[in-house]
Amino acid sequence: MTDGEGALRAVLAGAAAGIERAAADLALAEEPSRLVAALEAEPERG
């Protein structure tokens, strides 16, 4: 592994750790496919 790859792996590990913290209290029912539904939940504006 080069120095450059090591730096990127470190960034990746940091991102994964951040997600782990943010997901700590994620609801059991949360699915990965709900983004468009979340966006469409906002009422339409004229």
Partner 1 sequence: MAWKDLCHVPGLPTSCGTKTREYFVDVRECEAVRRLRQAGAVGLGKLNMTELALGPFGDNPHHGDAQNPWRTGCAAGGSSSGGGVAVAAGLVLGAVGSDTGGSIRLPAACCGIVGLKPTYGRVSRAGAMPLSWSLDHLGPMARTVADAALMLGAMAGHDPADATSSRRPVPDYAGALARGVAGLRLGLPENYYFDGVSPEVAAAVREAASVIARLGAVVTEIRLPDPQPLTDVASLITWCESSAVHARIVRERPHELGSVVRARLEPGFHVSAYDYLQAARIRARLTREFVREVFAEVDGLLTPVIPEPAPALDQVTAGAPGEVVLRMARFARLTRPLNGLGLPALSVPCGFTASGLPQALQIVGRPFDEATVLRVGHAYEQAAGFWARRPPAAPSPDVRAR
Q: Work out how close the CB of 26 gets to partner 1 at its nearest, in angstroms, rounded to a whole number.
A: 6
Chain center to CA of 29: 16
Q: Which residues contact 9 (CB under 8 A, 6 or more apart)?
A: 1
The one-character DSSP state at 42 is S
Site size toward partner 1, by CB under 8 A: 37
Residues 9/1, Cβ–Cβ less than 8 Å: yes
Query: Footprint of partner 1 on residues 1-46 (CB under 8 A)?
Result: 2-9, 11-12, 14-16, 18-23, 26-27, 30-42, 44-46
The residue ranges that bind partner 1 (CB under 8 A) are 2-9, 11-12, 14-16, 18-23, 26-27, 30-42, 44-46
